[in-house]
Amino acid sequence: MNAEIRKAFAAIRADEPLVAATRQKLLGRAPARLRRRLALRSSVLVMLAVCLLAASLVSVRIPVAAVSIDINPGIGLDVNLYNRVIAARGFNPAGQAIVAALALEDKSVRTAVGAVIAMAARQGYLAGDGSSLIALTTSADLVPARNQLAKAAEKAARQALDETGQPAEILSSHTALARVAQARELGISPGRMNLIEKLQELDPESETGDYLETDLASLMQRINQLKQQEREAEKATRDVDKENRRNDKANQGKGGNKP
């Protein structure tokens, strides 16, 4: 920039002292303008860095997914964008006791799920004959995130069962985040609510309140019984329809043989 100023003044015809004074004044201003530009750019970069840091800190505390673990203790985990637990709650006294005994916040989903199942096994909530049911329900609005979460939770559950030597059936399901809020209004997990609704589809006269504390294995057994009854009823209906068609065909044949 200094060379450009000198070059510009070389073509100006004026008193030499005036030219020298003006040139010196402009040369003195040039670094100041440059410093102001650099200061402005630095301020913008600092503000951008602060905004990015604030957004990162906020995203750590915002739940974008949830995992519920139902055995008979019911536990719900709120999960952030980084698949880490930001809040844990128990849906019944047994679940609340497990949450109080474990520091689950800021743990990865795999670590938290494994710790819950290991604690439930140690406290005797899993039957030794393998008849217990563990319902894992993942909730997220984005399908890829939900699938990734489900895989992590199920892998952690199986590893915890292997390490404790306790066999159990694992039932994995998915649901939207909106369902989590609905379930919590009832004081139950999304997984339990899903099972109760399946049961009510098969038995419309059943009441939600009748199954809020029922252990999941018994709840699933009742669902399977109702499904079996439904299949048997459908088969009986098909058999009756088949018999009726056979009789109709036989009667038509008899009618056609009359003189």
Q: Where are the domains of the chain?
A: 2-60, 63-187
User: Which residues make beta-bridge pairs with 170?
Assistant: 134
The residue among 159 and 58 whose pLDDT is bigger is 159
Mean pLDDT of the chain: 80
At 198, the amino acid letter reads K
| Range in 31-45, 85-99, 204-218 with the lowest mean pLDDT | 31-45
The residue among 67 and 252 whose pLDDT is bigger is 67
Alpha helices for the chain (secondary structure H): 2-10, 16-61, 93-101, 109-122, 143-164, 177-185, 190-202, 216-257
pLDDT of amino acid 226: 86
Confidence of residue 9 (pLDDT cuts 50, 70, 90): very low
Cα–Cα distance, 259 to 255 (Å, whole number): 9
The sheet with strand 169-175 has its strands ordered as 85-90, 74-79, 65-70, 133-140, 169-175
Element (H, E) at 78: strand 74-79
The residue among 95 and 9 whose pLDDT is bigger is 95
- For residue 28, what are the CA distances in angstroms to 36, 245, 257? 13, 108, 124
| Range in 139-143, 181-185, 217-221, 250-254 with the lowest mean pLDDT | 250-254
Confidence of residue 72 (pLDDT cuts 50, 70, 90): confident
pLDDT of amino acid 4: 52
Residue 28 has pLDDT above 80, yes or no: no
- List the structure tokens of 195: 């099972």
DSSP reduced 3-state for 186: coil
Neighbour count for residue 157 (Cβ, 10 Å): 22
- For residue 135, what are the CA distances in angstroms to 74, 138, 189, 205? 9, 10, 10, 24
pLDDT of amino acid 38: 58
Residue 26 has pLDDT above 90, yes or no: no
Residue range 223-232: average pLDDT?
A: 86
- List the structure tokens of 84: 């880490």
Indicate the pTM of the whole model. 0.69
Confidence of residue 18 (pLDDT cuts 50, 70, 90): low
The residue among 9 and 108 whose pLDDT is bigger is 108
Whether 120 contacts 136, CB under 8 Å = no
Cα–Cα distance, 87 to 90 (Å, whole number): 11
Residue 100 has pLDDT above 90, yes or no: yes
